[in-house]
Amino acid sequence: MKTDAQVQQDVLHELKWDSRVEETDVGVEVDNGVVTLTGTVSSYPKRMAAQEAAHRVTGVLDVANDIQVHVPGSQERTDTDIAQAVRHSLEWDVVVPDTQIRSTVSKGWVTLEGEVGAWHERDAAERAIRNLPGVRGMISKLEVSLPSAKSETIHDEIEQALERRAERHAKHITIDVREGTVELRGPVESWAEREAILGAARYTPGVKKVEDHLQFAPFAG
């Protein structure tokens, strides 16, 4: 078990390693494995990148993201501007059922509501607006409405998908399924490998939610 001080140092190193993060602007505190991130960054993607970096570190149990987003003056947008950009982004993404999604923008925070037919549609909608200029944060209340499927069936489908892509994935990844929610745990060696594993879960029929607990670490042997 790592001490809180060791976890803090590892999170700081991970923030420095991730080129998407302004690590000098992010503070890290650790209490019994719970990491609190503080500070100010210039965009919502950088805020989320810091959160993802902390979650990747072994020994981190939970992350409280208190990082604030301060949008530079050159990128400042009114809520109306952002709302229009959100609508256009949802309409332009062919994967997103844009007519089933409504958004609310308040002080740069975007709230998405509505129903979609698959988890990957929800994921695509969130990704469509994540990098829009002026967005300070996002709250997704999108619900996945689809026929129920047995947890065992979902588990087997994901496992088979991983085996088709790379046998190593299936060997080292733990898949837990409960009422359509999939939890993925285990070590990965690269971003590409992580995305391949998450993609296998996102596109599996019956999946309503994917929880990413994958961690970057070398495989033994």
28 touches 11 (CB < 8 A): yes
Give percent helix, percent strand, percent coil of the chain, each to the nearest 5. Answer: 45, 30, 30
User: Which of the four pLDDT bands, split at 50, 70 and 90, describes residue 107?
Assistant: very high
Percent of the chain with pLDDT strictly greater than 70: 94
User: Which of the four pLDDT bands, split at 50, 70 and 90, describes residue 220?
Assistant: very low
Q: Could you give the CA distance from residue 60 to residue 54 in angstroms, rounded to a whole number?
A: 7
pLDDT in tens, 110-166: 999 999 988 889 999 999 998 898 999 999 999 988 777 899 999 999 988 888 866
Map out the domains of the chain with their CATH numbers: 4-69 (3.30.1340.30), 76-144 (3.30.1340.30), 151-216 (3.30.1340.30)
pLDDT in tens, 8-56: 999 999 999 888 887 788 999 999 999 999 999 989 999 999 998 998 8
Q: Is the pLDDT of residue 84 over 50?
A: yes
User: Which of the four pLDDT bands, split at 50, 70 and 90, describes residue 167?
Assistant: low
Please give the pLDDT value at position 96.
93
Q: At what angle do helices 191-202 and 151-165 cross, to 10 degrees?
A: 140
Q: Could you give the CA distance from residue 39 to residue 55 in angstroms, rounded to a whole number?
A: 17
Which of 115-143 are b and which e, b meaning 16 or more Cβ less than 10 Å from the residue's Cβ? Answer: ebebbbbbbbbeebbeebebbbbbeeebe
Please give the pLDDT value at position 221.
47
149: tokens are 């499927």
Name residue 50's beta-bridge partners: none
Q: Could you give the CA distance from residue 146 to residue 64 in angstroms, rounded to a whole number?
A: 31
